[in-house]
Amino acid sequence: MRKIFRNFTSNPKNDLLSGLTVALALVPEAVAFAFVAGIDPLVGLYGAFMMGIVTSLFGGRPGMISGATGAMAVVMVHMIQKGNEVGQSLSEPVENLGLQWLFITLLIVGGIQMLAGIFKLGKFVRLIPHPVMMGFVNGLAIVIFLSQLSLFQKNENGLSTWLEGAELGLMLGLVFLTMGIMYGLPKITSKIPAALVAILIVAAVTIFGGLEVSTVGSFIKDGGGQGLEGSLPSFQYQIADFLYTLQGHWDLILATAFLLAAVGLIESLMTLNLVDELTESRGSGNRECVAQGSANILNGLFGGMGGCAMIGQSIINVNSGGRGRLSGLTASLALLSFILFGAPLIEKIPIAALVGVMFMVVIGTFAWSSFRIINKIPKGDAFVLISVSAITVWQDLAIAVIAGVIISALIFAWKNATMIRARKRLKDDGTKVYEIWGPLFFGSIQNFNAKFDVKNDPKSVEIDFMESRVSDHSGIEAVINIANKYKAEKIAVLFSHLSPECSSLLLKHDPSFHKLIKQSIDDPRYYVVTDLVDREV
């Protein structure tokens, strides 16, 4: 309890100001992602509020921001479209049926994510290799940059066209003004968030200067929304009728739920890792899984879009001084206040100011050091780094991370498969000794078998695993097969310096193997705690 209290009181000023800055940046992001998913902007805004309030209070990483995200919106869109099609095909057409399907799906998503936390699966994010992490942040920076380019368009007669001439010049000027303030202000003072100051100054310039620019309000209305003062879609039919619409579509619902759960957890845990590095502290992945799941269930129950951790907003928060839970709580409550009370003011904020903030996030997120080290790291790691960046842009963050981990694992397995060696020597009594070096596992079995000359070996052979380790079941089978080959040739074989675990598995396979295992009490590689030591302790 004392630790939780400190998270709210250790840095209140910076947390409050950074939370307010994040809230301003959340508005266009949530709206844009709602449009991507094909739902009302208010569903995205309320979803961002519910995600933020739950994860800021109960999540595993103070200072991390959650809300409606593009990665999840892309996964939702097919199911929502299918639901709307089914709704229109009913004898009594149902509006927004895809949205109602989404709410049911979010309940399942939340359950899956909570189970991941309860069974402590969040710790596996620590196994993600560093090249995957670098590729991830680079790809993310590119995705954030590309997502901002659509804001350099305007809607005319239902068609989107790029800004030109004076309009484009004004937009770029305001973007560069925002970036300039964010770059220069920290050199003067760090007591107030540069992003918040930049947004307020640019907003003042456009309002009092009478400049005609795209604002948050015009952005929502141009996309087909009603502004921040609209109302959420409501259920207008009985639950039995709703369940009837799901007949024959449960496979789609479940598949979408599992994919959303995976995408949400991967993005959230990767964000947690990144914020850990930025703050030089450590969060709890398992606790974050439970919090994310609880937030998505709340979204499903009360009509929000759902979501996960937001890397861009989390970086804005951290860079603005937000470190405690108060920053996330402030961002969520401020967002709700904007919707309920401050809509007219928030709708006047220029989109250019928010684009400038996100461009600075891009600059701060991209791992520029990757250009410097790309020729200094192993080629396999360089390939992983570039591949993850490309896949992040081409597909999405979750697929990129999964692909990067798989590629890294295959490269690791290949390298270790070629590392196994066997030094050969003869003892004075004529026994041939094979001194194995390197790991024995599924990838190195073929090379391991090729080291032995069973047909021409003397009548006594010793296979020494002093500098080797049998790592998996395939390795155990390889040891058994070699023993059987020597047995068929009536050659006496002994295995020395096997690990206790390997010896145990061999004896379980065939108790007679105890005759082939050479007991070593002076093994410098394995430290066995004897009964005597146990008694002394």
> Average pLDDT of 98-119?
92
pLDDT for position 231: 59
pLDDT level of residue 527 (50, 70, 90 thresholds): very low
Cα four-point dihedral sign 399, 405, 407, 409: negative
Among the ranges given (169-173, 263-267, 379-383, 525-529), the one the predictor scored with the smallest mean pLDDT: 525-529
Indicate if the pLDDT at residue 204 is higher than 90.
Answer: yes
Among the ranges given (94-98, 131-135, 453-457), the one the predictor scored with the smallest mean pLDDT: 94-98
CATH architecture of 418-533: 2-Layer Sandwich (3.30)
pLDDT for position 413: 87
Of residues 446 and 75, the one with the higher pLDDT is 446
Indicate if the pLDDT at residue 221 is higher than 70.
Answer: yes
Q: CA nearest 316: which of 265, 356, 351, 257?
A: 356
Mean pLDDT of the chain: 84
Indicate if the pLDDT at residue 278 is higher than 70.
Answer: yes
**Which of the 8 DSSP states describes residue 152?**
G
pLDDT level of residue 529 (50, 70, 90 thresholds): very low
Q: What is the DSSP string of 438-460?
A: EEESTTTHHHHHHT--GGGS-SE
pLDDT for position 228: 62
Q: State percent of the chain over pLDDT 90.
A: 33
> Average pLDDT of 74-97?
83
pLDDT digits (tens, 9 = 90+) for 343-399: 787 788 888 988 888 888 788 778 888 888 888 889 999 999 999 999 988 887 778
Burial class (CB in 10 A: 0-12, 13-18, 19+), 134: buried
pLDDT digits (tens, 9 = 90+) for 26-45: 887 787 677 767 787 788 88
> Average pLDDT of 312-337?
89
pLDDT level of residue 112 (50, 70, 90 thresholds): very high
Phi-psi region of 490 (alpha: psi -120 to 50; beta: other; left: phi over 0): left
> Average pLDDT of 262-284?
87
What is the spatial distance between Cα 364 and Cα 140, in angstroms, rounded to a whole number? Answer: 11
**Terminal-to-terminal C-alpha distance of the chain:** 36
* Greatest mean pLDDT among 309-318, 413-422, 488-497: 488-497
Whole-model pTM over 0.85: no
- Residue 202 near residue 179, CB atoms below 8 Å: no
What is the spatial distance between Cα 59 and Cα 54, in angstroms, rounded to a whole number? Answer: 7
Indicate if the pLDDT at residue 481 is higher than 50.
Answer: yes
Indicate if the pLDDT at residue 532 is higher than 60.
Answer: no
pLDDT for position 248: 79
pLDDT digits (tens, 9 = 90+) for 285-323: 999 999 999 999 999 988 899 999 988 889 889 988 888
Indicate if the pLDDT at residue 219 is higher than 70.
Answer: yes
Burial class (CB in 10 A: 0-12, 13-18, 19+), 474: middle
pLDDT digits (tens, 9 = 90+) for 48-64: 999 999 999 999 999 99
Burial class (CB in 10 A: 0-12, 13-18, 19+), 358: buried
pLDDT for position 533: 40
Helix-helix angle 397-417:379-394, to 10 degrees: 160
pLDDT for position 6: 61
> Average pLDDT of 191-217?
86
pLDDT level of residue 94 (50, 70, 90 thresholds): confident
pLDDT digits (tens, 9 = 90+) for 144-173: 788 788 888 887 776 778 888 999 999 999
pLDDT for position 499: 84
> Average pLDDT of 249-264?
88
pLDDT for position 338: 84
Q: What is the DSSP string of 231-268?
A: ------S-HHHHHHHTTT-HHHHHHHHHHHHHHHHHHH
pLDDT for position 297: 95
Indicate if the pLDDT at residue 255 is higher than 60.
Answer: yes
pLDDT for position 44: 87
**What is the domain partition of the chain in residue ranges?**
2-378, 418-533
